[in-house]
Amino acid sequence: MIFKKRQNHNFAISLLENKKEYYIFFLIALLLFSISLFREYLKYRDFTKYRIDTKTLFVEQQYPKKNYTVLKLRNLDGFQFYSTTKTKIRDLSGYYIDATLIFGKNFSFWDYLSGGYITIGKISLHSFEKDRRYKLRDRIVSLHKNDEVGELYSAIFLATPIDRELRGKLSRLGINHLAVLSGFHVSFLVLIVSGLGYLIYNKIHQQFFPYRNLWRDILIFDVAFLLIYLIFLEAPPSLLRAVVMFLIVSFLFDRNLIQNGFEILLITAVSLIALSPKLLFSIGFLFSISGVFYILLYLKYFRFGAVGDMVLVNIWVFVAMLPIVHSIFGEFNTLQLLSPIWTILFSIFYPVAIVIHFTPYPDLLDFAIEWLLNLPSGESFYFETPPTILVMYILISLFLAIRRDP
């Protein structure tokens, strides 16, 4: 077992070679951010043009709460917000509706960017046809006797929302991140697509295209699959980050260039925020960036062999993310201490779960998921990371990232 600093960053090709190029990059990003922000402002002005207006909206999620129903809605421009209704309605998740919106005087541009609350009036179905992704979700749920298991599978395959009770169970277990599509899932999808691509394409390549690079063609298959998958799922923020990073890394890898992971993460995050300022308000996106950052920080300073790293990096990320997670979510359950174990096991579970859903036995692992979801709760307590501590923690983390290896 070896404990040492990794030196590969010293030999990595930098896409931005000096301070001047960094300044130019950030100036371009700032210009794009300003243009994108102005574009969003125009959408906001158009969206709130009338105090009372009827809009066509998509219902992403619906759940009961006390004596009313909560609706998570999205307009045709991608603006997401919440509303409530006391009217008894059927489950409209996955449907387009026509709804009367009543804008309060205090509904600001900030609320528009962050996804605020809007009062809703009359509701009617815009179309009786359910969205294709939600039809597929219903199909997946129907394959399992336990609806929670089916919802979990749908979330990790289709990025569909899960209900509050299941979300609470995942939070108690500390595995919410496993139900959100991100780089962790993308890596396995790439392995599966690459494997299938090799099995199917290898003989075709040998017979018809022996002059081409086999693995470059398979990489093209991977990229094409991920882009189609991303578009079909309507680009959830954490998956968008993962796919964009994969595209950059693939481009450099294809040219045999060693990559500086921190720089690629920086370029990806800044570029995406510049093009879509709303990502600044996406918890999933910010957590995804933070998680990758701490994985890279681990890889910069530690090495314990392949098996050791597989175990320790999950423990490291769990611990390193605690101050950030608890700056937003305060509750901690002692059962979350087992989160690294479930994350490691998920590495085996996820590809198997994909495969069995193409067989007559999609419920093969249901017993294991039900057992996990029904584990007795541990002791819960509440703590929040003070803002000053959070800022100091982030600054120290950034210092360790940019610090040159001796």
Tell me whether strands 380-382 and 331-333 are parallel, antiparallel or unpaired: antiparallel
Q: Is the pTM of this model over 0.75?
A: yes
> Which tens digit of pLDDT belongs to each residue from 133-171?
999 999 999 999 999 999 999 999 999 998 888 998 999
| Inter-residue contact 205 to 222 (CB < 8 Å) | no
- Whole-number pLDDT of residue 7: 43
Helix/strand/coil for 161: coil
Domains annotated for the chain, with CATH where assigned, are 8-21+171-402 (no CATH), 48-130 (2.40.50.140)
Instruction: Tell me how far CA of residue 151 lies from CA of 146, 167, 358, in angstroms.
Output: 9, 10, 17
**Which residues are CB-neighbours of 139 under 8 A, at least 6 positions away?**
none
- Whole-number pLDDT of residue 64: 86
- Whole-number pLDDT of residue 96: 94
Distance CA 120, CA 103 (A): 9
Element (H, E) at 165: helix 164-173
Per-residue tens of pLDDT for the chain, all 406 residues: 333 444 444 455 677 778 888 999 999 999 999 999 999 999 999 999 888 999 999 999 998 888 889 999 999 888 899 999 988 888 899 999 999 999 877 888 998 998 889 999 889 999 888 999 999 999 999 999 999 999 999 999 999 998 888 998 999 999 998 999 998 899 999 999 999 998 998 888 888 888 888 888 899 999 999 999 999 999 999 999 999 999 988 888 777 776 788 999 999 999 999 999 999 999 999 999 999 999 999 999 988 888 888 889 999 999 999 999 999 888 888 999 999 999 999 999 999 999 999 999 999 999 999 999 999 888 888 889 999 999 999 999 999 998 876 4
Please state the separation of Cα 83 from the chain's center in Å: 23
- Whole-number pLDDT of residue 89: 86
